Every structure is written in structure tokens, then in C-alpha cells.
């Protein structure tokens, strides 16, 4: 297994080009199951999760060409509808093939995604919504067995909790259903918005895009004609590299971003005393005279994203004072806390609330272990500013969602390299 070795205390400076958003590319790749034609997709991030989903689509019979950041895919040849445990256990977002497979073929078997480090992460809301659309759902030997006679039926779906992939699954199922579906309490993340826009461009009548109530007129199982599209920039990758600038109190610019996807993150940086300059496609963070503590509660978009919680906790260890972070979305998304404490951070947990007593320059490099995607990035950020050498182990978690992270950090003068255990 690989690990990252980081020599801390380096001033950073420079520009990082942000890749396409993993969490936009995954549902969009799954949506190609609904397509009658070959589709060209650009600005695909070069991350492990994309390769996993492509492998799954290939196993189902799709044909595709993947070169660097472009994918050409045709799912006309799809002839399987079983997503096996082997694939789903490596990436829970494989659940995103459930809606489109069921809508197109009237049957499918998808391994129940297990929990993961950050929480139990059930998919009950996905299944309940599909049943309301006429599907018969059975759980057998760890598999979701879904069937429907003819087309799924349009229905009014009220999500008891806002669910990003739940909204995406139902959007895709509704696109081929017979009649109108209304999703109430829909997720509004930019990644959900892009899925709506791509489906709309493919001829699906969708209203309420970007709001919490979305209506979809289904095609009654007629496959769609997708236009070529480019994946939106990854707002979480951008936020992570801005945190690198923040924690090292350096000037760093992230390029190829949609700044308005990061309004809540920018506001929290400014609360901490950092100065940010924003233009059409880039954001630059400048040093703070003094890094101030911050209070954060994670919530659905456009609120502060849970996927930025771990990274901001790392920055908060450098603040002068006590920060409070309340993680409202996932019940176990504090796996990075014990590792940050090993680096010398002063953090206490009480249920969903973390209290971080920040002291500038207080971290000391050592060996730490990554546990999940965003926790891993928080440990890398801490290593950038810790005194001495930090080794971050099990970085296969990082490789799932960050495209060439060490290369991008080296480009802004970080002393970081990938080694073999």
C-alpha cells in the first residue's frame, strides 16, 4: 500500500487546476443507462471511483473509451442488470445504477451498499420512493431485487430527509417513468442540478431545477438522446486546496472553479480572518493576520458542506482560540479526530459536536492513518503545517476522490511524496 510523506512548515504559493466533480460524474455516468445514443463526456476526474463505476457499467455490457478526462460511452449493448457485491463493496455510489436499470429494464439486482467509515448510510429512502413508483422491492441475501411490470409510474415523492443520491436515483427513474413525478424535499447540490440539466438537454421535461421541489415528465420507457456535456468543477476539491492555503497561511489560487458553488465555504474562511479574491473561474486565498476560531454546523447545500468538515477542522487547529464543529449529516464523521490528536491537536468530542482548542504551530509530525476520503485530506493538510515529517497511511481512501493530489500540492511548493509501505 502507498503512503504520503510530508515535510511540514513549508510556505505554499501558486495555482492549482481543479478537476471535474467526482460527485457529479458518478450520477451522470449512471444516467447513460437511459441513453439511446453514444455520449461524449469531458472534464472527467481521474479518480478511482470513476474507474470503479466504469468497470461496473462494462460488466453490465456497456462499451466505452476512457482517455484521461474524456469518456465516450454507449449503453445500447447493456445486457446485464446485476450489480455484484464485489463492485458495490468498493464503492457505495454504485447504488446509482438502481434507478436507471429498473426504469429501463423493469428488473435489476443491486448489492445493498454496506455502511462505511462515516456512518451506516442506509438507502431506505431510495427504495421507498421506487416502491411508490410501482416497483416491487425485496432484499434477499444482501441484494436489492427490484422489479416492475411495464414502466415505473410517476408519483409524488416526499423525502423525509434530504438525500443527494436518493434524489439522483429518483430523477433518473422518473425520466423513463410513465407520467409525472414530483420530488418534494429534493437535494439542491450543484451535482444534482447538473444531472437535471443533462436530462433536460436529453429531452426530459424537468421543472424546479435547483429548488427543493422538482417535477419530471417521464418518457414512458423511451430511451433518451443525450447531448455531449462537460462535468462541473469539483467544489470540494477546490475547498480542500483553499484549506491548504489557509492552514499554511499562504497565498494559493484554485483555477477552473464555479465560485458560487462555494459561497458558504468562502464565508467561513472570511470569518476566520482570511482574505479571498474571487473572479469568474478562480478563487485566491490570502494569509490572515491572525487565524480566528470558527463555529460550523454542517447541513445540506447551500449550507456548509459535510464534505468540507474534516478539512476545516484541520485549519481550526491553527486558529487562536476555540472552534465548534457540529456534524449534523453523518453519525460517525469524526474518524479524523483521533488522528489529528496524534499530531498534537486539542480536540474533544461530545456526540455530534467537536470542540477544537486551536494553537498556532502546535502540531508535530508523526504517522497517521486515513480512514475515509475527506478525513484523509484533513490529515494531509495537517501534515503541511506540522513540525517535522508526517506519514499518511492507507491513502487508497484519498485516491478515490482526489485527482493526483500530491502532484497538485507539489505544484504549490509542498514537500510531499508518495512512497510504498
Taking CB under 6 A as the rule, does residue 122 contact ligand EPZ? yes
The piece of 9-17, 121-129, 132-140, 176-184 that touches ligand EPZ (CB under 6 A) is: 121-129
Helix (H, G, I), strand (E, B) or coil at 134: coil
* Nearest distance from C-beta of residue 413 to ligand EPZ, angstroms: 27
Distances (CA, A) of 239 to 21, 61, 242, 335: 12, 36, 5, 20
Beta carbons of 29 and 71 less than 8 angstroms apart: yes
Taking CB under 6 A as the rule, does residue 23 contact ligand EPZ? yes
* Residue of 22, 8, 14 whose CA lies nearest to 242: 14
- Of 108, 116, 196, 243, the active-site residue reads 116
Nearer Cβ to ligand EPZ (122/150): 122
For residue 325, count CB atoms less than 10 angstroms from its CB and return exposed for 0-12, middle for 13-18, buried for 19 or more: buried
The piece of 52-60, 116-124, 173-181, 265-273 that touches ligand EPZ (CB under 6 A) is: 116-124
**R_g of the chain computed on alpha carbons:** 21
Nearer Cβ to ligand EPZ (109/372): 372
Helix (H, G, I), strand (E, B) or coil at 304: coil
* Nearest distance from C-beta of residue 374 to ligand EPZ, angstroms: 5
* Nearest distance from C-beta of residue 354 to ligand EPZ, angstroms: 17
Q: Is 116 a catalytic residue?
A: yes
Contact set for ligand EPZ, span 392-411 (CB under 6 A): 401
Taking CB under 6 A as the rule, does residue 18 contact ligand EPZ? no
- Return the biggest CA–CA distance within the chain: 65
Beta carbons of 41 and 229 less than 8 angstroms apart: yes
Which positions from 338 to 377 touch ligand EPZ by CB under 6 A, shown as an x/- string? -----------------------------------xx---
* Nearest distance from C-beta of residue 415 to ligand EPZ, angstroms: 26
Nearer Cβ to ligand EPZ (105/330): 330
* Residue of 228, 134, 145 whose CA lies nearest to 174: 134
Which positions from 299 to 328 touch ligand EPZ by CB under 6 A, shown as an x/- string? -------xx---------------------
The cell numbers describing 311, all together, are 478539512
* Residue 348 host element (H or E): strand 346-350
Nearer Cβ to ligand EPZ (89/121): 121
Taking CB under 6 A as the rule, does residue 330 contact ligand EPZ? yes
Q: Any residues with CB less than 8 A from the CB of 228 and at least 6 apart, and which?
A: 39, 40, 41, 42
The piece of 146-154, 163-171, 376-384, 409-417 that touches ligand EPZ (CB under 6 A) is: 163-171
**Sign of torsion, CA 380 381 382 387?**
positive
- The count of other CB atoms within 10 Å of the CB of residue 2 is 15
* Nearest distance from C-beta of residue 292 to ligand EPZ, angstroms: 26
Catalytically annotated residues: 116
- Residues forming contacts to ligand EPZ in the complex (CB under 6 A) are 23, 26, 93, 119, 121-126, 161, 163-166, 306-307, 329-330, 373-374, 401
Amino acid at each position: 500500500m502507498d503512503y504520503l510523506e510530508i515535510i511540514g512548515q513549508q510556505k505554499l504559493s501558486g495555482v492549482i487546476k481543479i478537476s471535474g466533480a467526482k460527485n457529479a460524474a458518478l450520477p451522470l455516468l449512471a444516467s447513460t443507462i437511459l441513453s439511446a445514443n453514444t455520449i461524449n463526456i469531458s472534464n472527467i476526474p481521474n479518480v478511482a471511483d470513476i474507474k470503479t463505476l466504469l468497470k461496473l457499467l462494462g460488466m453490465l455490457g456497456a462499451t466505452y473509451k476512457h482517455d484521461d478526462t474524456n469518456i465516450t460511452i454507449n449503453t445500447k449493448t447493456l445486457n446485464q442488470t446485476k450489480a455484484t457485491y464485489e463492485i458495490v463493496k468498493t464503492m457505495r455510489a454504485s447504488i446509482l445504477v438502481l434507478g436507471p436499470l429498473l426504469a429501463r429494464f423493469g428488473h435489476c439486482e443491486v448489492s445493498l451498499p454496506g455502511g462505511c467509515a462515516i456512518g451506516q448510510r442506509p438507502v431506505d429512502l431510495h427504495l421507498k420512493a421506487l416502491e411508490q413508483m410501482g416497483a416491487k422491492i425485496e432484499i434477499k441475501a444482501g441484494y436489492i431485487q427490484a422489479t416492475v411490470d411495464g414502466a415505473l409510474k410517476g408519483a409524488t415523492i416526499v423525502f423525509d430527509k434530504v438525500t443527494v443520491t436518493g434524489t439522483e436515483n429518483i430523477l433518473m427513474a422518473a425520466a423513463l417513468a410513465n407520467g409525472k413525478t414530483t420530488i418534494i424535499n429534493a437535494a439542491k447540490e450543484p451535482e444534482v442540478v447538473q444531472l437535471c440539466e443533462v436530462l433536460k438537454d436529453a429531452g426530459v421535461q424537468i421543472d424546479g431545477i435547483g429548488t427543493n421541489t422538482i417535477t419530471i415528465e417521464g418518457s414512458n420507457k423511451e430511451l433518451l438522446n443525450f447531448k455531449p456535456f462537460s462535468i462541473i468543477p469539483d467544489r470540494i476539491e477546490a475547498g480542500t486546496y483553499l484549506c491548504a492555503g489557509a492552514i499554511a497561511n499562504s497565498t494559493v489560487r484554485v483555477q477552473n472553479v464555479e465560485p458560487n458553488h462555494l459561497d458558504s465555504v468562502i464565508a467561513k474562511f472570511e470569518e476566520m480572518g482570511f482574505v479571498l479574491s474571487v473572479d469568474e473561474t478562480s478563487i485566491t486565498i490570502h494569509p490572515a493576520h491572525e487565524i480566528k476560531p470558527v463555529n460550523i454546523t454542517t447541513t445540506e447545500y447551500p449550507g456548509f458542506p459535510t464534505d468540507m468538515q474534516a478539512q476545516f477542522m484541520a485549519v481550526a487547529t491553527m486558529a487562536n482560540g476555540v472552534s465548534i464543529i457540529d456534524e449534523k449529516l453523518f453519525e460517525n464523521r469524526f474518524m479524523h479526530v483521533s488522528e489529528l490528536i496524534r499530531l498534537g491537536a486539542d480536540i474533544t468530542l461530545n456526540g455530534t459536536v467537536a470542540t477544537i482548542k486551536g494553537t498556532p504551530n502546535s502540531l508535530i509530525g508523526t504517522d497517521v492513518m486515513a480512514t475515509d476520503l475527506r478525513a484523509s485530506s484533513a490529515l494531509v493538510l495537517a501534515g503541511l503545517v506540522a513540525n517535522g515529517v508526517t506519514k499518511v497511511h492507507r491513502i487508497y481512501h484519498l485516491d478515490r476522490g482526489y485527482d493526483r493530489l500530491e502532484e497538485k500540492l507539489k505544484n504549490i511548493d509542498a514537500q510531499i511524496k508518495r512512497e510504498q509501505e
